[in-house]
Amino acid sequence: MAARTRTRTAKAPPGSAAAKSRTPNAQAAANANARTPTGKPEVRIFVSYSHVDAAARAKLETHLAPLIRDGVSTWFDGRMDPGDALDAGISRALRQAHILVALLSPE
């Protein structure tokens, strides 16, 4: 009788490059299927505006406020933490957004 050998596939250590390459796809899938506590799908809105038009952006936030309980969230550069990389933070938020709202004005 021949001896049977089994080969196991090794899992990548948590900090390895192989583990990191799977992380964005898993995170993207989790973000795409994100649900609010009410069971509704989450909707992320990216707001692009000139800082001269901060009052218009604030007014938009006021109008969208009732939708927060339905899973709508807005993002603008004022939500970044001090010390965050500006370009990377904006790019990440833009990739994760479902809707882009661009406030246009002469400024």
Question: Per DSSP, what are the bridge partners of residue 41?
Answer: 35
Provide the 3-class DSSP secondary structure of residue 38: coil
Q: How much is the pLDDT for 99?
A: 92
Q: How much is the pLDDT for 98?
A: 93
* Integer Cα distance of 64 and 46 in angstroms: 12
Kindly give the confidence (pLDDT) of every residue in the chain, 107 residues in length, as a single tens digit, with 9 standing for 90 and above: 555 555 554 555 555 454 444 444 445 445 555 666 667 788 999 998 888 988 998 999 999 999 888 888 888 877 766 777 777 888 888 899 999 999 998 87
Which H/E stretch holds residue 73? Answer: strand 72-75
With vertex at residue 95, the alpha carbon angle to CA 91 and CA 96, rounded to the nearest 5 degrees, is 120
Question: Per DSSP, what are the bridge partners of residue 35?
Answer: 41
